[in-house]
Structure 1
Amino acid sequence: MSLYEHFRKEEHAFVDQVLDWKAIVELEYRPKLTDFLDPRQQKIVQLLVGSHDDVHVSFWGGHSEAERKRALLYPDYITPVNEDFRLTAFELRYPSKFITIEHSQILGSLMSIGMKREKFGDILSEEDQFQLILSEEVADYVVLNLQSVGKAKVELKPISEDDVMKQVKELEETFVTVSSLRVDTVISEAFHLSRSKVKPAIVSEKVKVNWKVINDPAFQLEKGDVLSFRGKGRCEIVEMEGQTKKGKQRLILGFPK
């Protein structure tokens, strides 16, 4: 059986990249630090490195419950510490008494100054307080160029790792029955919308599966997939509980609390 059969076709390029990283550690006997990876990418790295004797992998994203993390692939002579992941944390200072900003605005502002998504990690929030986790190599650039978010003037203040918000992922589970595992069918059931409304949204690239935009309404889902619908929210396929007598699929979906 080919290695690639374990992964979706659109993941094959990333599989090749991980194999290249692994080869660097094996052949050059040195660590390889990646950019920020989403949870699905982290899982692929973990699967490909596995319990290999010569190559090991650790992940860190600035706090214990981070969603986006950098991976460090390393030979067995190294014991990694958090500093090896080269992260910098900042608090976003802005006139919060007079203006409000949102997570999506911060993300858009970072992208507008030329930042690639893989160069920064989680955007953390608690009421009107926001924090950013950046890779060290882009931190100075972001501090210099990120001067506004929406209509708010902003300033980035460095903070210690101890001051990073600890945000725990909690899911509220819901049982649903769907006629198929097509993404349009599951999205329709998850967010209580007609498929006639969901299909155009998918085609116009408003839906992501595992943090990647998809535009095919017939895209087939699997256990563990994370779905996000712009403006509607996010859910995860926590469990597939088999079929009903009528051939429908029973699913447990998890929604962030």
Structure 2
Amino acid sequence: MTELYQHFRKEEHEFVDAVLEWQGQVLNQYSPKLTDFLDPREQDIVHTIIGSEGDVKVSFFGGYEGAERKRALLFPSYYEPSEEDYELELFEVKYASKFVTLEHRHVLGTLMSVGLRRSKYGDIIAGEERIQFIVAREMSSFVKMNISKMGKTSVSLQTKPLNSVMDNKEELELKETTVSSLRLDAVLSSIHNISRQKVQTLINGGHAKVNWKTLEQPSFECNEGDTLSLKGHGRARVVSINGKTKKEKWRITVGKLK
């Protein structure tokens, strides 16, 4: 068990324990286990622990190809999963789009205000005049009953088939940069071209996330593949760590979400 924990950061150990518990349930009950929505880092952890060999298998689905947030289905090796097993509901937000602008943040704020955890919601897909979101089916009636406004805008929620989900392709604007260290404050300062002191203030105030988790440690060391977000500045990803320069600085490739 100790050897397994060595592969993950300390703050991830609690989630590792949960995955091991799910694996045990499938082995003991010999039936599938469906999780809530997982962010990409959590999906990586599940995939690493369960693997592709052994008596328990795992697959992920978030409603469409390229979804960021997905539910995981752990199942015995004999089982053949289908899309229906993931129990997803797609809603489209109907509102006066010609007169009002709704953004991702408005939708997320409203969804969180009804008292459900973020893990009950999948992706929010925002277009120019259309917004959709995916929710765990067991919560869909509750959500529909409790949401009639987003911000100050009256809305209604319309159920849609999953095959009508909007296109939500993620594009990264890549750049290479050098940083004095792989500390979170140094990396974010370089990505967003703002002072390290300002970044530290934002991190200490709880306005930074690493892999979708709020982190208040400017000294946290970033790894390849980490997704970083800073309030007011958007999200970015550490695409690769390319070694050190002659002056002992780190060369990294980062991608900002367009």
Q: How does 1:1-257 map to 2 (within 5 A)?
A: 2-257=3-258
Structure 1 stretch displaced more, 233-242 or 162-171: 162-171
Match of 1:221, SS state, is coil
Deviation, 1:98, is 1.5
AA matched with 1:55: V
Unaligned runs of 5+ in 2: none
Match of 1:200, SS state, is helix
Give the fraction of aligned pairs with identical amino acids, expressed as a percent.
49
Show CA shifts across 1:69-127 (max 9, x none): 00000001111110000000010001111211111011011111112100010000111
Give me the whole-angstrom Cα distance separating, in 1, the residues matched to 2:25 and 2:229: 34
Q: TM-score, normalised by structure 2?
A: 0.98
Deviation, 1:52, is 2.6
| Runs of 4+ displaced beyond 6 Å | none
Q: TM-score, normalised by structure 1?
A: 0.98
Give me the whole-angstrom Cα distance separating, in 2, the residues matched to 1:173 and 1:9: 30
Match of 1:180, SS state, is coil
Match of 1:95, SS state, is coil
AA matched with 2:167: K
AA matched with 1:11: E
Give me the whole-angstrom Cα distance separating, in 2, the residues matched to 1:233 and 1:99: 23
Give me the whole-angstrom Cα distance separating, in 2, the residues matched to 1:13 and 1:77: 29
Show CA shifts across 1:116-161 (max 9, x none): 1000100001112000100011000000001111110010000011
Give me the whole-angstrom Cα distance separating, in 2, the residues matched to 1:136 and 1:203: 37
Cα contact 2:52–2:58 (8 A) shared by 1: no
AA matched with 1:53: G
Give me the whole-angstrom Cα distance separating, in 2, the residues matched to 1:166 and 1:95: 21
Deviation, 1:27, is 1.4
Give me the whole-angstrom Cα distance separating, in 2, the residues matched to 1:70 and 1:134: 10
Deviation, 1:200, is 0.8
AA matched with 1:80: P
Match of 2:190, SS state, is helix
Deviation, 1:243, is 0.4
Match of 1:2, SS state, is helix
For the aligned residues, what is the CA RMSD? 0.8
AA matched with 2:185: D
AA matched with 1:6: H
Show CA shifts across 1:227-249 (max 9, x none): 00111111000001000011100
